[in-house]
Chains A and B, each alone.
Chain A
Amino acid sequence: MLEWLRDNWVNLLGLLSFILTLVGLGIAFVQVKKARTAAEAAKEAAEATQEALAKSLTIGDLKNAIALLEKVKSYHRADKWEVAIEWYQPIRAALAEARARYPGREQEQTRQINAGIAQMTVMGNVVEQSLRSGQLPPTNVKVIVERLNSIQSSLESLVSDLQMTQSRPKG
């Protein structure tokens, strides 16, 4: 046995060295994987935080626009056209803010916001023309309130979708 060891110690050392190298590689592999997983987890957490923040801010913008729409509706119902028209631009601005922040800039959702902005523009033109010509109310108040309701309902649906994805865990 001793004789065999004496003859083969170099080979044994080589084999041992090879095994140790393999073990070392294995340990290194596990450590790299752990580090990568930790880095990925940190990146994912940062992205999730950013997305949650964007959702929260967008919900705030949309809710602000909804509150302004409610206010405008009440002015229209009270025949306060000159006051109502002053709030059209802030509504468009709130919608533009929501669009700019919308998480992922989803096409259909931003299209809905753009549709709301376009509708507010047409409505604003109608009211302004009527104010200039002194023909008030410009059109059936019901039609204007219906349009405002339609925009509001579309925004409420966007808020609801955002809130649902906000409370749902990712993945």
Chain B
Amino acid sequence: MANIAEIAKLVLERTKEGRLAWEGTADENSYLATLGNQSVRISRGSLAGDEYHFFSVLNKDGREIETLSTTPDDAYSNWILEHVYATPIDKNTLPIIFQLARRRALEVDKELDELAKVLNAR
């Protein structure tokens, strides 16, 4: 049975491979990728000066059905990972997904290539 930590790891792999089409959202700290009936969302926020990340799975009706976060006091995420799934997850997984999703959604590489061409032509 798949769990959200495994899904996060797979999403990271597929994102690294460039096989997920991430899109920006109305929230500039949130990115979405829709695959078939489900979507995954990666978000960044801050709490008391600390940065944290949320990884959520949305069903076909847009309802959030499972969420994982990196906030140290997220008792729910910690509890489900330790007691329900017992799946260790690297604490950098969500921040890396966020950065890669942002780069993909904003087409950072393409933008930089274009800028390099313009600069080289000057």
- Interface pair B63/A121, CB less than 8 Å apart: yes
Q: Is B26 an interface residue (CB 8 A)?
A: yes
Which of B24, B34, B39, B61 contacts A92 (CB under 8 A)?
B61
Residues of A within 8 A of B30 (CB): 122
Residue from B27, B35, B60 in contact with A117 in the complex, judged by beta carbons closer than 8 Å: B60
Measured between beta carbons, the chain A residues less than 8 angstroms from B63 are 121
* A164 interface residue (CB < 8 Å to B): no
What residues on B are CB-neighbors of A117 within 8 Å? Answer: 60-62
Contacts of B38 in A (CB 8 A): 114
Q: How far apart sit A125 and B29, CA to CA, in the bound complex (Å)?
A: 13
Q: Using Cβ atoms and an 8 Å threshold, which residues of chain A touch B35?
A: 111
C-alpha gap A139/B99 in the complex (Å): 21
Whether A122 lies near B60 (C-beta < 8 A) is: no
A120 vs B41: C-alpha distance when bound (angstroms): 13
Chain B 40-58 interface 0/1 with A at a Cβ cutoff of 8 Å (1 = within): 0100000000000000001
- Structural contact, A126 and B26, CB atoms closer than 8 A: yes
Instruction: State the CA gap A61–B71 with chains docked (Å).
Output: 41
**Closest B-chain residue to A120, C-beta based?**
B62
Question: Residue B32 at the A interface, CB < 8 A?
Answer: yes
**Interface of A (DSSP majority class):** helix
B residues in contact with A115, CB < 8 Å = 23, 32, 34, 39
Quote the shortest CB–CB distance from A104 to chain B (angstroms).
Answer: 15
**Inside 8 A of A112's CB, which chain B residues have their CB?**
34
Chain B interface size, under 10 / 10 to 19 / 20 to 34 / 35 or more? 20 to 34
Q: Is A107 an interface residue (CB 8 A)?
A: yes
Alpha-carbon separation in the docked complex, A119 to B63 (Å): 11
In the bound complex, CA of A128 to CA of B33 (Å): 22
Q: Does B27 lie within 8 Å of A122, measured CB to CB?
A: yes
A72-114: which have CB < 8 Å to B? 92, 96, 99, 107, 110-112, 114
B87 at the interface (CB under 8 A from A): no
Q: Does A35 make an interface contact (CB < 8 A)?
A: no
CB of A123 within 8 A of CB of B62, answer no
Q: Are A111 and B34 in contact, CB atoms less than 8 angstroms apart?
A: yes
B72 on the interface (CB 8 Å rule)? no
Q: A115-B39, A122-B41 are in contact. Are A144 and B26 (CB under 8 A)?
A: yes
Which A residues between 119 and 171 are near B, CB-CB below 8 angstroms?
Answer: 119-123, 125-127, 139, 143-144, 147, 150
Task: Write out the residue numbers on chain A whose beta carbons fall within 8 Å of the beta carbon of B39.
Answer: 114-115, 118
In the complex, 15 of the A-B residue pairs with CB atoms within 8 angstroms, ordered by the A residue number, are A92-B61, A111-B34, A111-B35, A114-B36, A114-B38, A115-B23, A118-B32, A118-B62, A119-B23, A121-B62, A122-B27, A127-B26, A139-B27, A139-B28, A147-B26
Q: Chain A: residues with CB nearer than 8 A to chain B?
A: 92, 96, 99, 107, 110-112, 114-115, 117-123, 125-127, 139, 143-144, 147, 150
